[in-house]
Structure 1
Amino acid sequence: MKFDLSRLRAWGDLPFFTQTLPQIEVALAAEQRIVLPPADLVFNALERVQPDDVRVVILGQDPYHTPKKAHGLAFSITADFGGRLDSLGNIFKELQTDLEITRNRTQLDDWADQGVLLLNTILTVPQGTPKGHAKLGWQVLTDQILMRLADQPRAYLLWGGPAQKAAQKVDPDVNFKLETPHPSPLSVHRGFFGSQPFSRTNVWLRNQGHASINWGDPEAP
């Protein structure tokens, strides 16, 4: 499997793409199982928001392992999927409680277009095998992205242990760093519900002189 890196722009300067990605491409080429998401969407999160435009970082784990569900943005589900929302449904419940906003659109590309980097720490997954590509080396990219983003204050929403571990070097004195349990049905009641991530992020952004994020459904054209 070979990836088209032409749309990465500034992200393409990270050493990962010359030093680590070739080994991952070899491993994926030998993979007998269906790999998700499709190759042209693996780097979707980076293609949609460039480093200098990132205002908020939300770290996920690995892509959904169900066909036609993942499209390269953490927690986002393709608009025409129509199945269970699981973690995303709980995110929407918290959004409703936090800001009294009802969101129906499961595809979160409008968040990305406002400067929210929806980054999974592992960018591929074999169909039906969660974390099946956890040892391919994708975390090297996560580390380099977070180092690149350390040049200015940003908001980090870290849901669950893996996200918190990946971002442990993010300075909470410089950035807004909110660590809560993961929104999955298994852990959502341990502190994700009631954490007010959306309102607290917007307050911090305004205090930094930035506009708030519109977390609800994008306005109709």
Structure 2
Amino acid sequence: MKSPLARLGDWAELPFFTTTFPAIETALRAEKRNVFPPADQIFAALEHVAPGDVRVVILGQDPYPTVNHAHGYAFSAEEDTRPLPRSLANIFKEMRSDIGAAPESADLRFWSDQGVLLLNTILTVPEGQPKGHETLGWQALCDQVLARLADSPRAYLLWGSSAQKAAAGVDPTTNLKIESHHPVGMYGNMGFFGSRPFSRTNAWLRQQGLPAINWANPETT
């Protein structure tokens, strides 16, 4: 059977996969709780966007800990997820305010089609236990991904302290860094709403001579 790492392309060259991931694999095999996302979707975000194609990075904390929600992309959920996860509902609320529209589905993979890397700092979670895999070592992968992406300017949407801490080393003079509170719950009212991350990112991309992201309508991507 073909190794799942074979689907990672250039990302598979990161040291994480030889130095850290074997121990994580062992821990996941020993895990008695349900773990999300399914094993074949853990690296979906990286499999979808090669390093050279990344234009925007959105960092999340860890996957949704609810059955049938997480599918390997930060903040995204399976298409038929209802109601929307609270963080995604607030993201869409801000998007409507910012650019006048938002997707009808929880599935954000069409963003990745356009070079948006939807990466969590922790790539697995036990059912019902946010940050339950915080100590497994996943953060080393996020660190190495960000280091790999330092080769050219990119936009970084950093919502919440976990994302901002992970991307503290990203140079704000060559990259666009938009930092605000995390969109979930009450924190959405304390700096996330009104931050206009979508229009600001598109304006910056145009300044770089790059196409804007179609945030709202997958049918026109």
Shared topology, TM-score over 0.5?
Answer: yes
Structure-1 residue corresponding to 2:87: 87
1:82-119 deviations in whole A, cap 9, x for unaligned? 23420101000111000011321210000011000000
Structure-2 residue corresponding to 1:49: 49
1:159 partnered with 2:153? no
Structure-2 residue corresponding to 1:198: 198
Structure-2 residue corresponding to 1:138: 138
Give the Cα separation in 2 of the matches to 1:191 and 1:91: 12
Structure-2 residue corresponding to 1:37: 37
Mapped contact 1:65–1:129 kept (Cα < 8 A)? yes
Mapped contact 2:84–2:106 kept (Cα < 8 A)? no
1:146-179 deviations in whole A, cap 9, x for unaligned? 0000000000000000000000000000100010
Give the Cα separation in 2 of the matches to 1:31 and 1:163: 26
Q: Report percent identity of matched pairs.
A: 60
Secondary structure at the counterpart of residue 8 of structure 1: helix
Give the partner amino acid of 2:57. Answer: V
Give the partner amino acid of 2:20. Answer: T
Structure-2 residue corresponding to 1:124: 124
Unaligned segments of structure 1, at least 5 residues: none
Give the partner amino acid of 2:137. Answer: G
Give the Cα separation in 2 of the matches to 1:8 and 1:186: 36
Structure-2 residue corresponding to 1:16: 16
CA RMSD of aligned residues (A): 1.3
Mapped contact 1:157–1:177 kept (Cα < 8 A)? yes
Give the Cα separation in 1 of the matches to 2:103 and 2:22: 39
Secondary structure at the counterpart of residue 189 of structure 2: helix
TM-score (norm 2): 0.97
Give the partner amino acid of 1:108. Answer: L
Mapped contact 1:105–1:217 kept (Cα < 8 A)? no
CA distance 1:84–1:218, change in 2 (3 Å):
closer
Secondary structure at the counterpart of residue 64 of structure 1: coil
Select the structure that is richer in helix: 2
Aligned residues: 220
Mapped contact 2:72–2:123 kept (Cα < 8 A)? yes
